[in-house]
Amino acid sequence: MEDGEPALLVVLYSGMMRSTPLRRTMSEDLAQRFGALPTGPSVVAAFDVDGTLTEGGSVYAWLAAVGGRRRTIVATLSNLVPVAIAAITGGTRADAVKQAVFQRVIRGIATSDLDETSRRFAAHHYRRELRPAAKAQVEWHRAHGHRIVLVSASPEIYVAKIAMLLGADSALATKLAVATDGTMTGSYEGKNCRGDEKIARLRAFIGSEPATLVAYGNSRGDAKMLAAADVGVDCGKLGPLSALKAYPTLAQVRSLLSSPSR
């Protein structure tokens, strides 16, 4: 529900290629892969948001900011069993539950009001929760002329604002529908941006030109993107318990790239 979903680096030539995960012990292979990345916009660095770029989740905190804490708690409690099941099973069940909670909390709020509150929330969340190591990795990519994109199942209305604060090139996130009277419906506009939808949105962002995509994620929800990436990086904190334990960690990558010899 908090959507710390797939954040990956993907390689696209004429289509999406799959890569073999890098084992944590393969430091030489890791150095070779990062060393082989060209400079310029042909490299796309894709960062998941919740738990990857920032600490923890953001969705409930955003809902409380825009709809009020009491309303958010009531909406969550009224969907408590589905929320608990969705947290375990994920998939389309989680999509439906998240949308149901959104409908209870933000339906009827004027778009202009939601946008302004989301702007303030994004600035606060960015200031308090941005992970220094993730920010340093973003800056490394920027220094090499790479394109930087945030990819998240969290609502685009604030993810896009975090992307602007970070200086990212784009934000690919879940769009929310607006009624004809200019108020929010609480429903999605299109699909929840997770799993295969993240990959589809990345393909559309990159276009037909050959590109190397580097992906950063923190949870099992990011597994598909990391598996499709040329280089995948585990930004989680679960160590050997991580669903992404086959990939190098962000700490390993930062240690490699910040060493004096590089």
Residue 132, pLDDT score: 97
| Residue whose C-alpha is closest to residue 235's, from 66, 95, 62, 49 | 49
The C-alpha atoms of residue 137 and residue 88 are separated, in whole angstroms, by 31
Report pLDDT digits (tens) over 166-210: 999 999 999 999 999 999 999 999 999 988 999 999 999 999 888
Cα 49 to chain centroid distance, Å, stands at 4
Q: Which range among 25-39, 117-131, 238-252 shows the weakest confidence by mean pLDDT?
A: 25-39
Pairing of strands 184-188, 176-178: antiparallel
Residue 97 has pLDDT above 80, yes or no: yes
Task: Give the right CATH number for 11-57+130-257 from 3.30.360.10, 3.40.1790.10, 3.40.50.2000, 3.40.50.1000.
Answer: 3.40.50.1000
Residue 9, pLDDT score: 34
**Residue extents of the structural domains in the chain:** 11-57+130-257
Residue 247 has pLDDT above 60, yes or no: yes
Residue 20, pLDDT score: 46
132-143 and 250-257 are packed helices; what angle lies between their axes, rounded to 10 degrees? Answer: 50
Residue 30, pLDDT score: 84
Q: Is 54 helix (H, G, I), strand (E, B) or coil?
A: strand
Contacts of 49 (CB under 8 A, 6+ apart): 3, 4, 7, 58, 150, 151, 152, 154, 159, 162, 173
The C-alpha atoms of residue 149 and residue 9 are separated, in whole angstroms, by 10
**Residue 88 or residue 216, greater confidence:** 216
Residue 81 has pLDDT above 80, yes or no: no
Mean pLDDT, all residues of the chain? 86
Alpha helices, H only, the chain: 27-35, 59-67, 69-78, 80-89, 91-106, 111-129, 132-143, 156-166, 196-206, 223-228, 250-257
**Residue 136 or residue 76, greater confidence:** 136
Residue 5 has pLDDT above 60, yes or no: no
Taking the CB of residue 71, how many other CB atoms lie within 10 A of it?
15
Residue 54 has pLDDT above 90, yes or no: yes
| Residue whose C-alpha is closest to residue 245's, from 225, 218, 224 | 218
Residue 242, pLDDT score: 84
Residue 16 has pLDDT above 80, yes or no: no
What global pTM score does this model have?
0.85
Average pLDDT score over residue span 148-156: 97
